């Protein structure tokens, strides 16, 4: 095949980034368009699915892992060729805590690279996809990034060693979306959420994140009338939390409003100390015993806040207050996780 002319090659970089948005109706004006939500059973994917249905989208396509293994290229290409989705939200990923990341690094880097590569490439090849949104994670940023962490901190320093395999895969996903936009004109955007919580969270005793872990521990202490709950560290580190329904709302907003090269941080913009968080969970769960801090245990990073001024400046703001979100999440935990054990 002849090489593209210099003029054609340079025009790729001159293409206005709103070209994609101008050539079709907006996402929210196209509620009959077929939307494929990859990873619809997870914390994020399930929230996006709920949001799409509540907004009146009439043609949302989902597949379980048993029905479609996204790590298998031929299966993904066949699915896209048959279903021809107009929009794709890529919320599927292999995820886990520090222990899982440290024990199975090959699984985390391989599975996530395969999922992203297969879905983004098939979205281009099938010819029907108008827009794709890829979801990453705040762990893409360097361990010692400036606080709050702006989008421009990406690739500016070494990663947190405990989850670098997952982070490297997610960084590759961002870069893949950028590359397919530059070379092929695929309207692929990326969103990087902060720490998430809500219904469908992982409450596993060994590999859950801090908030579901606290909910579980306080509930179990309450159920057994334990006199105290011991929490690691001093309680002084600051953390940011976003309800998953707010993230789902931000995903819809970006699908509708954003068509840029750079990834977009999605956070609440507010911080809470681990001590304040633990006291709040204790109150929501109704545990009457003592809260004890084991300051001989490590605190972790003192602060981890995303700079979400970009999306906030575009007009999106989170709506779910932390306490209200915790009440709802605890209710879901009792009705689903605890009820299932009985």
DSSP string computed for 50-63: HHHHHHT---EE--
pTM of the model: 0.91
Residue 22 pLDDT = 52
CA gap 248, 226 in Å, rounded: 37
pLDDT per residue as tens digits for the range 215-268: 999 999 999 999 999 998 999 999 999 999 999 999 999 999 999 999 999 999
Could you confirm whether 166 is annotated as catalytic?
yes
State the helix-helix crossing angle for 73-83 and 105-126, rounded to 10 degrees. Answer: 30
Calculate mean pLDDT across residues 101-111: 93
Element (H, E) at 276: helix 274-285
Q: Which residue has the higher pLDDT, 303 or 85?
A: 85
pLDDT, residue 269, reads: 94
User: Whole-number mean pLDDT of the chain?
Assistant: 91
Q: Does position 20 have pLDDT exceeding 60, yes or no?
A: no
Choose, from 87, 141, 166, 333, the residue flagged as catalytic: 166
Q: What is the pLDDT of residue 261?
A: 97
Its CATH class, for the domain covering 31-341, is alpha beta
pLDDT at 342: 67
């Amino acid at each position: 095949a002849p090489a593209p002319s210099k003029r054609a090659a340079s025009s790729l970089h001159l293409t206005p980034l709103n070209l994609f948005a101008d050539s079709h109706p907006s996402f929210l004006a196209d509620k009959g368009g077929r939307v494929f939500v990859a990873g619809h059973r997870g914390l994020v994917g399930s929230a996006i699915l709920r949001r799409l249905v509540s907004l009146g989208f009439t043609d949302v396509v989902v597949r379980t892992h048993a029905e479609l293994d996204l790590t298998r290229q031929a299966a993904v290409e066949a699915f896209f060729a048959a279903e021809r989705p107009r929009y794709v939200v890529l919320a599927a990923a292999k995820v886990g805590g520090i222990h899982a990341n440290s024990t199975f690094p090959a699984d985390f880097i391989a599975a996530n690279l395969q999922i992203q590569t297969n879905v983004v490439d098939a979205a281009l090849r099938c010819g029907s996809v108008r827009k794709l949104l890829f979801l990453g994670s705040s762990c893409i940023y360097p361990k010692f990034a400036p606080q709050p962490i702006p989008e421009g901190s990406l690739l500016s320093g070494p990663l947190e060693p405990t989850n670098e395999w997952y982070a490297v895969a997610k960084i590759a996903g961002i870069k893949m979306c950028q590359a397919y936009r530059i070379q092929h004109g695929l309207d692929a955007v990326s969103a990087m959420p902060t720490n998430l919580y809500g219904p469908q969270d992982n409450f596993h005793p060994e590999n859950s994140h801090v908030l579901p872990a606290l909910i579980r521990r306080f509930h179990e202490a309450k159920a057994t009338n334990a006199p105290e709950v011991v929490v690691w560290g001093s309680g002084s580190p600051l953390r940011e939390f976003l309800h998953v329904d707010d993230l789902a709302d931000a995903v819809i907003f970006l699908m509708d409003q954003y068509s840029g090269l750079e990834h977009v941080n999605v956070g609440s913009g507010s911080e809470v100390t681990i001590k304040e968080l633990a006291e709040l969970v204790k109150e929501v769960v109704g545990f009457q015993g003592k809260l004890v801090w084991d300051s001989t245990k490590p605190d972790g990073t003192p602060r981890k806040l995303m700079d979400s001024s970009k999306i906030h400046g575009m007009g999106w703001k989170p709506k779910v207050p932390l306490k209200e979100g915790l009440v709802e999440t605890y209710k879901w935990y009792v009705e689903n996780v605890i009820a299932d054990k009985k």
